[in-house]
Amino acid sequence: MSIGIRAAIGLNRVAGRVHYRQLKLAAFVSPVLLLLVWGWVSHLQLISPQLLASPLEVAATFGELLSSGELQEHLTKSLSRLTLGYSIGASAGLLFGILMALSRNVEALCAPLFHAIRQIPTIALIPIFILLLGVDESFKIAIVIKASFFTVALAAYEATKGVSVNYLEVARVYKLPWTTLYGKVIIPAIFPPVLTGLRIAFARSWTVLVAAELLVADSGLGQMMQMGRDMFRLDIVLVGVVLTGLIGFCIDRSFKWGESHLVRWRVA
Amino acid sequence: MRSISSVLSNLGLGRRAVGLILPILLLLGWQYMSTRGASFAYAFSSISQMQEALRELIATGDLQVNLASSLQRALTGLAIGGTFGLVLGVSMASSRIIDTSVGPLYHILRQVPLMGLVPVFSLWLGNGDTAKLFIVCLSAFFPLVLATYESLRQVDGKFLEVGNVLKLSRAQQFRHILLPAALPNIFTGVSFALAMAWLSTIGSEILFNAGAGLGNLMMNAEMASRMDILVVVTILIGVVGYLLTFVLYRITAYLFRWRKVASE
């Protein structure tokens, strides 16, 4: 790419600040372009409007669902399932992972079964969970717990195993009491990788919950989309897609923000 | 305090045997539940029933047909989606225009849970194999774009300087320096994409519920309350997923055996 083109679209490294702002602006180009093409294609009606709702229609449907209170209900349902399942699964996984890494007995006892079950994708367990737990709330929460538990447990286990022996030796030399050992050495050391594990676990839980709601649910974003699919209302489906994506995006970003801000001391 | 394993080794059992305790307890518990009357036997089928189910699935050919169709879907999806992912990743890493213009869109779209796209694709492409394949392609596409992009960007600057000294053209630089340096990491991305492709194959088969595939086999078993078939197929899915990753791992280790030598 020639320097001329770079300068023309403002990508050349000239002055730091301006350059950065222009880059930020450029970041909006492709999403806006996608919206425009989408609007244009649906305006031309090349594809039947039933199969391609225009962006404006989707926005209108969003407003409709919002004013009728339907959307809030689905959203609350999905998010509360996610929060409940995730907090149980992630905290249990965290404790279990650390315990398995620290205790040889627990490791010898549990690791083989843990690694075996870990191989089975959560989504493949949905049918068994349905048969065991029925199609009620407990099934959806159990599936979220499964998705988050194993991911977080693995991250915590590997992080704790990876704590440098040097740290532990220094702690032993200074004869640190175990409270200090945990509070000042082990937990700070495993914090960054565990945070990454928590983020991945969240993304997996969210996908699996949406899948479970698509399959069997009486409420929730997944069910709303499924209903849209059954009624051939692509606008409703798209509202759901945009929302699930947006929720995933926002939470992913906040985890990443946490990763880069909470562990800033690490760089220093 | 004596550890469990030392107690066991005194009994003449190895340390590995400790790991079998929980699975055996689980099996015994399951078997016990299955003998507790009809209401439990509905959910907890006995182990002999599961063996019977496995035999039945193989004898009727159900297992082979559905396994073949799932495998084919996952691998085709990986091939198509992976190729596109590789191409986009390379172009994003080598051109800043593509990076700044397509990158943000990619990062936004990547966040949409793939299974959430099932209703959209079912309206656009129908409930058949095309829609499923599309989802599988996407699931392999997204991780590979990121892996390719990151691996190419993380290539050590020293290597590129050598290329500059030798006055390599951009194409030569890419072919002889960037690609060999990034390839091992890209293959890690491929193994991740393979895992995602397998997962979304099963997921899309469960959600679309038409045609052949292990997911469909499970949904039919679920409708018929056949827990024995469900357990057999679920375990099979885990084993196949593990084997796929393992085979790819061995291939990678073979392909990049020069790397170990080089780094020593």
Per-residue model confidence as pLDDT tens for chain B (264 residues): 455 556 655 665 566 677 788 888 888 888 887 777 666 666 777 788 888 888 988 899 889 999 999 999 999 999 999 999 999 999 998 888 888 888 888 888 888 888 888 888 888 888 888 999 999 999 999 999 999 998 888 887 888 888 888 888 888 888 888 888 888 888 889 999 999 999 999 999 998 877 889 999 998 888 888 888 888 999 999 999 999 999 998 998 888 887 665 544
pLDDT at B142: 93
Residue B219 lies in a domain: yes
pLDDT at A268: 40
The ipTM estimated for the assembled molecules is 0.81
Q: Which of A120, A203, A229 lies closest to B119 in CB terms?
A: A229
Using the beta-carbon criterion (under 8 Å), do A237 and B97 form an inter-chain contact? no
What average pLDDT does range A202-213 have in this prediction?
92
| Domain range for B71 | 48-263
Write the CATH number for B174. 1.10.3720.10
Q: How many angstroms separate the CA of residue B168 from the nearest CA in chain A?
A: 16
Using the beta-carbon criterion (under 8 Å), do A245 and B113 form an inter-chain contact? yes
Place of tokens 């919950």: A209
Confidence (pTM)? 0.83
Counted domains in chain B:
1
Task: Please state, in angstroms and rounded to a whole number, the distance separating the CA atoms of residues B6 and B113.
Answer: 47
Task: Name which of B112, B124, B200 to mutate to probe chain A: the one with the most chain A Cβ atoms within 10 A of its Cβ.
Answer: B112
B13 touching A (Cβ < 8 Å): no
User: Of A2-16, A171-185, B59-73, which gets the smallest average pLDDT?
Assistant: A2-16
Radius of gyration of chain A (CA): 24
Across A183-192, A195-204, B11-20, which has the greatest mean pLDDT? A195-204
Residue B41 lies in a domain: no
Using the beta-carbon criterion (under 8 Å), do B4 and A109 form an inter-chain contact? yes
Burial class of residue B159, CB neighbours in 10 A (0-12, 13-18, 19+):
middle
Residue B75 lies in a domain: yes
User: Between chain A and chain B, how many beta carbons pairs sit less than 8 Å apart?
Assistant: 177
Q: In chain A, whose CA is at the least distance from the CA of B214?
A: A124
pLDDT at B196: 92
Residue B222 lies in a domain: yes
Task: Please state, in angstroms and rounded to a whole number, the distance separating the CA atoms of residues A155 and B134.
Answer: 31
Q: What domains can you pick out in chain A, each with its CATH number?
A: 3-46 (no CATH), 59-266 (1.10.3720.10)
Q: Which residues of B touch A127 (CB under 8 A)?
A: 206, 218-219, 221-222, 230, 234
Residue B142 lies in a domain: yes
What is the DSSP code string of A147-197? HHHHHHHHHHHHHHHTS-HHHHHHHHHTT--HHHIIIIIIHHHHHHHHHHH
Task: Please state, in angstroms and rounded to a whole number, the distance separating the CA atoms of residues A108 and A229.
Answer: 48
Task: Please state, in angstroms and rounded to a whole number, the distance separating the CA atoms of residues B192 and B139.
Answer: 10
Using the beta-carbon criterion (under 8 Å), do A119 and B239 form an inter-chain contact? yes
Residue B126 lies in a domain: yes
Residue B35 lies in a domain: no
Q: Higher confidence at residue A268 or residue A116?
A: A116
3-class SS of residue A2: coil
* Nearest C-alpha neighbor of B195 from the set A200, A88, A210, A194: A200
Q: Which of A1, A128, A234 lies closest to B231 in CB terms?
A: A128
Q: Which of A29, A116, A123 lies closest to B199 in CB terms?
A: A123
Residue B61 lies in a domain: yes
Backbone angle region of B160, left / alpha / beta, with phi > 0 → left and psi within -120 to 50 → alpha: alpha
Q: In chain A, whose CA is at the least distance from the CA of B218?
A: A127
